[in-house]
Amino acid sequence: MSTMTYAAEAVTGIPRLAAGLGAQAPFADNPSADFSDTPWWLHLVKALLIFVFLLVNTLIVIWFERRVIGRMQQRPGPNRTGPFGLLQTLADGVKLALKEDLTPKNADKFVFVLAPVIAGAMAFVSFAIIPMGPTVSMFGHRTPLQLTDLPVAVLLVLAVAGVGIYGIVLAGWSSGSTYPLLGGLRSTAQMISYEIAMGLSLVAVFLYSGSMSTSQIVAAQRDLWYIIPAFFSFFVYVITMVGETNRLPFDLAEGEGELTGGFHTEYSSLKFAMFFLGEYVNMFTVSALATTMFLGGWQAPPLITMINDGMFNHGWWGLLWFVIKLWSFMFFFVWLRGSLPRVRYDQFMRFGWRFLIPVTLAWVVVVAFIRASQLGYVSGPTFTIAGRQYPLLSFIFVAVVAAVVLLVYYYWENRRIERDARKSAPPPEEVDPFEGGFPVPPLPGQRLREPALGIGDRASQDIPEKEATRG
């Protein structure tokens, strides 16, 4: 067969291969949300409702955070302005708006104003693809509780998060000051590093659901939430979402003990409020994405779905379950802030590059092999557990990967123990000050070693003795 024939056969075989994969995959790439009965004005109404939802929840969560941390620290928290102090956040917002708006003399004024706009605006964009509920009736139209959906909707969230970094970087650079610049550089390295691990943690969900569409991912978790089969991905995502939002214990870009205020040191009034708002809206965004990817989205918990043929899993009930799951993550953010101290920057970056990224890559390989076995791409003997058949090769592969990871960890831990032992070893009692090639003063309690005489030194000492004898 000629080369042209081989090429033609390969080209014509690609559609057949894709069709075969699509037939065996549980879901197609296209979103399951149906927007055919949603007019343009209803899209605008839903966009406005999402905007109001995020603003109101931001006001509530700031009050909630201060009250919960106050309880954890045995103090009341805000309780004066409004009932239970609920209007304290609104009063703080008015106070920020009335503060003097200062611009440093050495600042790049256009970029200085543009940076908080980018950081605040990008925080709202990602929420557009989050399914907050099933299809409901609104103003006489059947429409999903979701603004829009894409075949690659989850990648849109990661892309928008990458654009949001520019707001922080430009804020630090345009301020014309040292501490904001250091905070912007820290934030760049931190967010980019942990976005890699975050993206890798979501690959396992893509493999299980067969789609990157958020509505398809929620539909694929009808029988089993992905927090169970992709438990390690959930663990990695929770760590990376805290680092991505610059929250304690990972708020290293604005560490007041080191950088005064970090990238927003020179900001005041509404510009500072935009950064403040963007941080909390980002917390809601990453929490909503975690709910969608791992906790079944708007679907009711498993036991509640059994009540009356799943009556609590339809209509506006989905919005209730979504908000409950969302606020469980917000409580987790607050609990971390009130419990843990800030980590050191080099430790945080080392943890991301040396542990999270390599281990998550290995996890993705394991999940890919398991999914290939489940879809029939890996043949071999199977065994049955609890009425389900499992391929034997997948378990052997997982065992081999786990053994390799344990061996690497064992080797790495032994090296760390040896390194710590060398550091904790007591210093020698006698030290040679010229051992390293340059003079080194002794530590307290050490004594200097007397230098030994060389051949030339001994010869120079012998000559005067002989001359003295001869004289």
Q: In whole angstroms, give the CA distance from residue 22 to residue 33.
A: 19
Q: pLDDT of 156-193, one tens digit each? A: 888 888 888 888 888 888 888 888 888 788 888 888 88
- pTM, full prediction: 0.78
Average confidence (pLDDT) over 42-51? 93
Q: In angstroms, rounded to a whole number, what is the distance separating the alpha carbons of residues 385 and 392?
A: 12
Please, which pLDDT band fits residue 49 given cuts at 50, 70 and 90? very high
pLDDT confidence of residue 414: 83
Residue 21, Cα to own-chain centre: how many angstroms? 31
**Average pLDDT over every residue of 313-323:** 89
Calpha distance 116→198 (Å, rounded): 24
Q: For residue 133, report the phi and psi dihedrals to the nearest 5 degrees.
A: 180, 175
Nearest to 100 by CA among 277, 272, 274, 279: 272
Per-residue pLDDT tens for 258-274?
Answer: 666 677 788 888 888 88
Amino acid at 191: M
CA distances from 194 to 86, 162, 464 (A): 34, 11, 73
According to the model, what pLDDT value does residue 319 have? 92
Q: What per-residue confidence (pLDDT) applies to 15?
A: 39
At residue 21 the predicted structure's pLDDT band, cuts being 50, 70 and 90, is very low
Tokens read off for 465: 């003795």
Q: Using 50, 70 and 90 to split pLDDT, how confident is the model at 16? A: very low
pLDDT of residue 13: 40
Q: Residue 400's Cα: distance from chain center in Å?
A: 28
Tens digits of per-residue pLDDT, 204-239?
999 998 889 999 999 999 888 999 888 999 999 999
